[in-house]
């Protein structure tokens, strides 16, 4: 199962962490894993490309782990854009969770 934890402070996303494997299909054909990967990496790449901030990114060497943290020093006008992009990511992940809840779980802290 893929577990996604979103850490918030004052209702803003500060960090999110993805861990585990969906195992909804054979290796290389796991549609849930592919969807979660595309959505999460797409959002991270969008933030990196469209803003001028350095996200703290940790990845597992074998896949199955991603942790992204937003630095505290981001100006508010840029933070609004970062939040919008990452909130969009969460909405997309929740859509996957609705249809494949046996393979993905999202929680907020």
| Calpha distance 108→106 (Å, rounded) | 7
For the chain, percent of residues with pLDDT exceeding 70: 100
Catalytic residue among 19, 20, 21, 53: 21
Distance of CA 74 to the CA centre of its chain: 19
Mean pLDDT by 10 residues, the chain (109 residues): 97 97 90 96 97 94 91 93 97 97 96
Percent of the chain as helix, strand, coil, to the nearest 5: 40, 30, 30
| Calpha distance 50→46 (Å, rounded) | 6
In the chain the domains, ranked by start, together with CATH numbers, are 2-108 (3.30.70.1490)
pLDDT at 87: 98
Is 7 in contact with 16 (CB distance < 8 Å)?
Answer: yes
Tens-place pLDDT, residues 24-36: 998 888 999 999 9
Catalytic residue among 33, 36, 43, 85: 33
Q: Tell me whether residue 48 is one of the annotated catalytic residues.
A: no
Q: Tell me whether residue 90 is one of the annotated catalytic residues.
A: no
């Amino acid at each position: 199962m893929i577990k996604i934890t979103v850490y918030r402070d004052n209702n803003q996303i500060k960090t999110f962490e993805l861990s585990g494997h969906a195992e909804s299909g054979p290796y290389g054909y796991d549609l849930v894993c592919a969807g979660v990967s595309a959505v999460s990496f797409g959002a991270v790449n969008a933030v990196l490309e469209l803003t001028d901030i350095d996200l703290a990114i940790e990845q597992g060497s074998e896949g199955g782990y991603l942790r992204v943290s937003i630095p505290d020093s981001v100006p508010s006008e840029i933070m609004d854009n970062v939040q919008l992009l990452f909130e969009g990511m969460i909405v997309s992940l929740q859509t996957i969770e609705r249809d494949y809840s046996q393979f993905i779980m999202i929680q907020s802290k």
